[in-house]
Structure 1
Amino acid sequence: MVQAEIKTTFEAGPVTFTARHELWDGNIQDHADQGVSIVVQAEVNGEKTILLRFNCFDIERSYIYGPENPDLKSDGPMMLAGRTENSTGMGKMYRMDPTADGNPIGWTMKTIKKQLPEMLDRAGYPEIAKEIDLEVLADVVLELEASARELFVAKRNTVKHNRGTDIFEAGNIRFGLEMRRLPVGDGGLAIHVLTDVGGSTEKSFVEETEIMAFDLFWDGPHYHYGPRNKNHRIYWDRTLVTDYLGWVLDKIDGKKLGAMIERAGYPGIAADLDQDMIDAVLPALTTKAREMLALGESLTGHPGLPADVTPNLVTN
């Protein structure tokens, strides 16, 4: 079945709205996050210019006045005189309050519909603000909102890895070890944290799900919170962390895994962890993991890296 492409660009008089999905990797773009950005653009001095930007992400919920306006001024309140930073420069960021403002896409659409002229004026573009037709804008916002909401769910980056070749049962979770190799040549030992969700284990519809993944790659080592859920991915600082397996084992041994699983979106699984059972399998898991690291070193010159590509369980 061929799926229709999602329309992402909409015009409303002098301005153009563009919605797109963005994936941020921790320590690459910024923090680990995913969501939809919405930018408002127009011609300024003959060049396409971003006037406003809205970040409607899982974590990052913010909006920026004049991100490309070098003349934008921002004076803080008198009570903070001398303590505000970036009083002039490219853009002024404000953050939505997730408690008071609710869903970031919903808040953004209501704000654009009601107060776009005021925001454009604040961003330093009063002449463009005067050209906005609120009736035309209201119709465009309906389409823009539908597009943004569809992008948020349809374009989310998630992944279904293999479960691993060596499995270690530990109560309500299990660990899977795998030697992985990507088509680009990066790879290494992967540690999959798995559990059964969607039904009791005797039901036919129960599904094993990877809730954490640690990819100890030689070039791009990283780990995933909820690979099939939010899939927030963080790359290690290779200056500070050089023993990736040691880092993972330290978190497991230090009883941090529960908090990590909860952050991944599985609080019920985290609540039912049995640390004694986890501790019991750690010695055997550690021994096997180090064997796989050594095997990769002998095969390819990189710890845990096999000679052949190992595709993910589901590629799309």
Structure 2
Amino acid sequence: MDKGTTVLNAGAVEIAMAYRTDLMDDQGLCVQVYGSIEGKDTEILRFDCFDQNPHFHYGPENHNVRLFLDKTTAGNPLGWTMDNIRHKLPAMIRRSGYEALATAVEASPISAATLDDAESQGRDLSRSGRRTVHHMMPEMVDGDKIEVGNLKFGLEYRHLPQLNDEGMAIHVLADVAGQEVEVLAFDCFKSGPHYHYGPRNQDIRVYWDVTTSGETLRWTLDQFKAGNIRSMIEKAGYPSIAAEVDESRVQDALPQIEARSWELVALNNPSSNGQTDNKKTKAQLIQELESLREQVAAL
């Protein structure tokens, strides 16, 4: 782990910080305590104040003991981190395996002003560094935003030439404080298929393993059919919207959503005839059956 680019001199140690967005399924501020060990700038402690799985490391360059935070009892991860740096830093440095450095910090504690500055800068970085995604839906055709109770399902076939990728996207939208906000997004791309919990909020990205999930558009539609949309919206950070989802209306609208989704795939992939997992639609099967009947009648 590289040293954070925001660095504060704190006497015997330095406090370094950086906001991490390189983890697709998580993000958050990284707070590091550095000290000089035998002339080498060494990471002594690291606090990963992530949204989903906050944790901290004793001695990342030594024995690297990693422990997870329980947000229910610890509260805000950055607040917990700064409280422990303020009051328990020497003990934590000792557990990391650096007795002499712990003694030096005890002899010359970090000033309250420096700690206040570190916390203030950390909170600023947490606000300014947050990764969100705002899908503008430029390729959505008029009429392809289907209203279902308190939700809207936006259907769009996306082309991303800059990534050499394309595929069907389903945007689940809801009203948040008077604004239409995307609460879930399913990007069923050919090369990098993934979905987002709360693109405008936590932006938890999950990349499909197509070996286990199978065709990703079908997987997405199956989640809707199984009644999982409410729990997914809740995980995205919108519990009040999840509570208002009318599941019966969602199920009633699914045939329209499914048919139009496969139609958009077919329109953009003429040779594939729509579905990409070799499963045929009811209409296709009926057409084939009628053709067989005609052939039998002609015998």
Q: Percent identity at matched positions?
A: 40
Paired residues of 1:113 and 1:134 also in contact (CA < 8 A)? no
Asked whether 1:142 is paired with 2:116, we answer: yes
With structure 1 as the length reference, what TM-score do the two structures score? 0.78
Instruction: Provide the secondary structure at the position in 2 that maps to 1:94.
Output: strand
> Does residue 229 of the first structure (1) align with residue 227 of the second (2)?
no
Offset from partner CA, 1:48-95 (integer Å, 9 cap, x none): 3211111111222221111111xxxxxxxxxxxxxxxxxxxx311223
Q: 1:10 matched to which residue of 2? A: 8
**1:286 alignment counterpart:** 258
- Give the letter aligned to residue 116 of structure 2: L
- The answer for the alignment partner of 2:154 in structure 1 is 176
Aligned pairs (5 A) from 1:114-133: 114-132=87-105
Who is 1:72 aligned against? none
Q: Specify the code of the residue in structure 2 equivalent to 1:58.
A: D
Aligned residues: 266
**Could you tell me how far 1:299 is from its partner in structure 2?**
9.2
Match of 1:161 among 126, 135, 138: 135
Structure 1: distance between partners of 2:5 and 2:88: 24
Q: How far apart in 2 are the matches of 1:135 and 1:47?
A: 21
Higher share of residues assigned helix: 2
Return the alpha-carbon distance in structure 2 between the equivalents of residues 140 and 7 of structure 1. Answer: 17
* Alignment deviations for residues 192-245 of structure 1 (CA, whole Å, 9 cap, x no partner): 0011221xxxxxxx2111110001111211111111111111111122123101
Instruction: Could you list the structure 1 runs, at least 4 aligned residues long, displaced by more than 3 angstroms after superposition.
Output: 133-137
Structure 2's unaligned 5+ residue stretches are: 277-299
Does 1:104 pair with 2:77?
yes
Q: Match for 1:197 among 176, 179, 196? A: 176
Q: CA RMSD in A?
A: 2.4
Aligned partner of residue 136 in structure 1, secondary structure: coil
One-letter code aligned to 1:141: L
Bigger radius of gyration, 1 or 2? 2
Per chain length, whose mean CA-contact separation is higher, i.e. which structure has more relative contact order (CA < 8 Å, sep 6+)? 1
Native 8 Å contact 1:224 1:233 kept in 2: yes
Question: Unaligned regions of 5+ residues in structure 1, if any?
Answer: 1-5, 27-31, 70-89, 199-205, 305-316
Summarize the Cα distance change of 1:136–1:220 in structure 2 as closer, same or farther, 3 Å threshold. same
